[in-house]
Chain A
């Protein structure tokens, strides 16, 4: 069997929520042994669900963002949150209480046998826990420590707490994404920067690992999530740098192509995107519509004219799309060479013909026994086939025996003592609601 790209690399993950967890999920997809270092004594908001022990009613009320299988919290809700399962496939879970000196000692033993540590907490926490890079480097000089906070490890905003939507607001996306005629107060912010931070963490880790293979040297990798995200708004920055121009949100429109919009289809809440970049696509678009009279307007023959008459065109297009099936429109447009596609929801993404044809989804069975379809890794390499889920997201503490006994060499007696002292366990302590 061929070795996966990161097989043999051990990664410790002490990330609270999404961003860092996606980063280590990619590393795990690529074959790394990722161990989530968790605690039975301290509940991390959101990581394993809304609360440790939510009521049935709370679970029913919760958004599918915090989904539980069949909306049932079950006997062990902390193992059942969809948010946790989304970001923790292929990882192992161990527990230790880092807020006690004995826990820090255990953690240091783990650092000794690890290659990479990834964390995405606000910076003061590492100092408070006594596990800053200089301390850990003493334990393992070749360690790669990846620290990814909102604003980085220096500068006046260093210690400010952050979450994706605040970071996107800070980075400029908050004012650039929106409907031209709706106040930002009425729109829920975007969290795309979380994914970008995760991807950046995985990329930075690969680079640091490559450097270590070449030189034997570890290092402290630093990511300010805002800086990792800002290059994705480069087009806007360059226009300001060159022309002092500030852009307002365009909704779904395009700065130079028209028509460009998201139009309703015959089904409930079904939408289709259409973009016409140039004259050739405009001619194809007219053919797809059956060359209606309104499209013969000579002004519409040029991009300038089309740009000017977007509102009028959108009304006509909408009349045409709203009585048609989304996929019929897509095929009609694509046949004429016009960029067009469905707007896929979290439900109908699982029915998308292209993804089904390429077997993008795979069935995963959780440790608790329920099965679900999971969107696979998009990193398709001929040498490995699909990078499949090797094991599902772990139950809390599921791999304590492996980590403590096999990796760290604790005896049965010591293991029992650490259980009594609240380091080792399979469920959040009773005081956690």
Chain B
């Protein structure tokens, strides 16, 4: 069976996290993604780790491996005339170019969209940058944390007494990369099937995050409607609902509950149908008034049970909850394993390792692990050979640092 994008050729000039995740999603569903790396150094993610036994090695970064499955790598110096010429030749055979340099860098190579459009008018080209190609912050530097803050998610995270809290490491960049991949594929779709020509996408990580459709968007439109800002809740006396909503401790960890409006179900789960006729808990106001007693009953029930047991007993009562899993538990989880999520990859340097697998299932045009993440420049000879370069040409280019 052919994966969905097996007819799509992508030149990938992205590095670090957001861009590579966007192109990985395309590569994993069949696109031929040629990753162009700087000779000698390669993608900066190769230096990010985690590394087996914490020993840094450019071919052993777990993050790089995860973000670059199914891609081919060529090492090409885009600052050299020959490197630029080779890139232009590659563009002729490509559908899509994605880059994530700082604004202006592609122009300094003579490889910005106007230049590439002349070579291939039907090219789809996407630039992924921190703030976009224009505007007063165009050249500003970011970190993962800075992106979380300008992306509108951090402010409402955490508690009122403390500084706003970010998501886990690299989340904003991966989220933005995921959203970016949609734009890139949509422009390609328009060219293939809607009679559009080539076009250029100016994708800003900040904008991809600000417009992201989780609670931040609800709060932004909520502000527009009510002129009331999102706030962080106080740590002490945080009562979202009764029965409680949030993470509560049990015998072996935490369980996340959604108790809002679920008193009947929670009473049933606790094996206390008598509570339903108790006037102290008869109305929502009364339950909020007596929230400590309700939380106390739930907590003492939870302390006699593990996360898994809590969940098992909540399901038949139609109470929404889930265990707060560690990554270790997820790697051993029977459900996730029964679905074949985790994938084995055989890597030339690292050997066999497990990596996260498909985000969704397209049974007729599936996610496939066709090739392991590439070594730096592993496919230089292969790809340049496809362009007609000979072994002698390659030796010469290698001596002059082009490849």
Whether B145 contacts A64 by the Cβ 8 Å rule is no
Q: Say if the beta carbon of B233 comes within 8 Å of chain A.
A: yes
Q: Say if the beta carbon of B87 comes within 8 Å of chain A.
A: no
**Is the contact region of chain A dominated by helix, strand, or loop, or is it mixed?**
mixed
Q: How far is the CA of A249 from the CA of B247 in the complex (A)?
A: 15
Whether B207 contacts A360 by the Cβ 8 Å rule is yes
Q: Say if the beta carbon of A175 comes within 8 Å of chain B.
A: yes
CB distance from B349 to the nearest CB of A (A): 13
Q: How far is the CA of A308 from the CA of B183 in the complex (A)?
A: 42
Whether A172 contacts B327 by the Cβ 8 Å rule is yes
Q: Say if the beta carbon of B118 comes within 8 Å of chain A.
A: no
Whether B213 contacts A25 by the Cβ 8 Å rule is yes
Given known A-B contacts A169-B256, A339-B142, A64 and B228 have beta carbons under 8 A apart: yes
Please pick, from B194, B235, B315, B365, the residue contacting A207 in the complex, using a CB distance under 8 A: B365
Chain B residues positioned under 8 Å from A86 (CB to CB): 213, 217-218, 220-222
Whether B192 contacts A344 by the Cβ 8 Å rule is no
Q: How large is the interface on B (under 10, 10 to 19, 20 to 34, 35 or more residues)?
A: 35 or more
Q: Say if the beta carbon of B189 comes within 8 Å of chain A.
A: yes
Q: Say if the beta carbon of A97 comes within 8 Å of chain B.
A: no
Most buried by A among B54, B201, B213, B233: B213
CB distance from A330 to the nearest CB of B (A): 8
CB distance from B399 to the nearest CB of A (A): 32
Please pick, from B158, B233, B325, the residue contacting A175 in the complex, using a CB distance under 8 A: B325
Q: How far is the CA of A255 from the CA of B248 in the complex (A)?
A: 27
CB distance from B100 to the nearest CB of A (A): 15
Chain B residues positioned under 8 Å from A262 (CB to CB): 145, 149, 154, 163-164, 166
A56-68 CB mask vs B (1 if < 8 Å, else 0) is 0000000111111
Whether A251 contacts B219 by the Cβ 8 Å rule is no
Q: How far is the CA of A228 from the CA of B162 in the complex (A)?
A: 31
Q: Say if the beta carbon of B146 comes within 8 Å of chain A.
A: yes
Whether A358 contacts B134 by the Cβ 8 Å rule is yes
Chain A residues positioned under 8 Å from B401 (CB to CB): none
Chain A residues positioned under 8 Å from B215 (CB to CB): 18, 65, 191, 194
CB distance from B254 to the nearest CB of A (A): 5
Chain A residues positioned under 8 Å from B194 (CB to CB): 3-5, 7-8
Most buried by A among B146, B147, B245, B335: B146
Whether B238 contacts A186 by the Cβ 8 Å rule is yes
Q: Say if the beta carbon of B210 comes within 8 Å of chain A.
A: yes
Please pick, from A167, A177, A210, the residue contacting B167 in the complex, using a CB distance under 8 A: A177
Whether B146 contacts A340 by the Cβ 8 Å rule is yes
Q: Say if the beta carbon of B39 comes within 8 Å of chain A.
A: no
Whether A204 contacts B362 by the Cβ 8 Å rule is yes
Whether A188 contacts B246 by the Cβ 8 Å rule is yes
Chain B residues positioned under 8 Å from A211 (CB to CB): 4, 362, 364-365
**What are some 20 contacts across the A-B interface (CB < 8 A)?**
A21-B213, A26-B182, A67-B228, A87-B217, A87-B218, A165-B246, A166-B258, A170-B256, A179-B158, A185-B247, A192-B171, A196-B175, A203-B182, A223-B359, A234-B62, A235-B48, A243-B52, A378-B183, A379-B201, A383-B196
